[in-house]
Amino acid sequence: MLFRPTNPISHRLARLAFVAACVGLVIVGLSGPLHRFLGVDVDIVIGLFRYGFYVCAAGIALGLATVVPTRPGERRRGFVAATLALAVGLCGAWAPFTLFLQAVGAPRINDITTDTASPPALVVTLKMRGEAVTPAAYPGKTVADQQHLAYPDIVPVVLGVAPAEAFRKVDAVAMAMGWDVVARAPGDGRIEAVDTTRWFGFQDDIVIRIRPEGSGSRIDIRSKSRVGRSDLGANARRIRAFVAKLQAA
C-alpha cells in the first residue's frame, strides 16, 4: 500500500467516488458533441446525458459519505479524493440538473409563436427540416392554450415605423442574435432563420412576419424545435430575447 489510512474502506470508497465523478463528467461532456459533430442519434445522446448525471450523482453521494471519515490526518489522500469527487461531480451534474429544473417548469410543447391564431408559416425552413422529428404544421389549440398559460407575455410587437423600416430593424436584430438567416422576403414581410444550440447542436426554425398595423408595423415571430416533445422553454426564451433586443433597437 502507498499509505496506511485510518479507515481503509472509507479511503477506497473516496477513490471510487472520484473515479465515478470523473466518468460521469466525461459522459455528460461527450453527449452533446457526439450528436452535434458525429450525428449520433438524439435518443442515444439524451440517454448518455441522463446516465452521466446519475454517475455524477453517485460520485457526489459517495464523496459526501467519505469526506468526513477521511478528514485530514497523517494521510490525506482519501480526503482529497472525496473532496475532488464532490467538485468534479457537481461540475458534471450542473448542466443536467439545470435542464431538469427547466423541464419541470416548462410545458411539454415545442412550437411557440406570438400569434397562435395565425402563426407565421415555415417556407424556406420547411424545406430544410429534412428528417425533423416534429411535424412542421402548427399543433393547434391544445398547444396554444398551454402556451398562453405558461408564457402569457409572448405577444406581438408593434413598432411605430413603416413595414420597410421595421423589416430592416428585424433583420438587424436577427443577425445580432447570432441566428443563421436563411431567407429574406421583403415583399412578403418575412424573415426566416435557424438557431443551433451550443451544446447538442439542435436546430430550431424561426419565422418572423412583418405586417402593417395602423401607421406602424406588427411583428410576429414563431420559434419551432425540430426534435423533442418539450423544448424546456428554449423557444420562449429565444422569442423574449429577440423582442427585448428589437424594442431596445
Containing 195, the helix (H) or strand (E) segment is: strand 190-196
SS3 category, 158: strand
**pLDDT at residue number 7:** 62
Global pTM exceeds 0.85? no
Phi and psi based region of residue 199 (left: phi greater than 0; alpha: psi -120 to 50; beta: remaining): alpha
Per-residue pLDDT of the chain (249 residues; tens, 9 = 90+): 344 445 678 888 999 999 999 999 999 999 999 988 898 988 899 999 999 999 999 999 999 999 887 776 545 778 899 999 999 999 999 999 988 888 887 899 999 999 999 999 999 999 999 878 899 999 999 999 999 999 999 999 999 999 999 999 999 999 999 999 999 999 999 999 999 988 899 999 999 999 999 999 999 999 999 998 889 999 999 999 999 999 998
Topology of the domain comprising 111-248? Alpha-D-Glucose-1,6-Bisphosphate; Chain A, domain 4 (3.30.530)
> Which cell numbers in the block locate residue 10?
472509507
Let me know: does 237 contact 69? Beta carbons within 8 Å: no
**What is the pLDDT at residue 72?**
64
Reduce the DSSP state of residue 40 to 3 states and report it.
Answer: coil
Identify the pLDDT of residue 58.
96
Q: What is the helix (H) or strand (E) element at residue 203, kind and residue range? A: strand 203-213
**pLDDT value at position 130?**
87
The rounded radius of gyration (Å) of the Cα atoms in the chain is 24
Neighbours of 153 (CB within 10 A): 9
Q: What is the pLDDT of residue 3?
A: 42
d(CA 70, CA 75): 9
Question: Where exactly are the structural domains of the chain?
Answer: 8-105, 111-248
> What are the two backbone dihedrals, phi and then psi, of residue 85, each rounded to the nearest 5 degrees?
-60, -40
Return d(Cα 170, Cα 218) in angstroms, integer: 11
Give the rounded distance of the alpha carbon of 60 from its chain centre: 24
Per-residue confidence (pLDDT) for residue 21, from 0 to 100: 96
Distance CA 236, CA 217 (A): 22
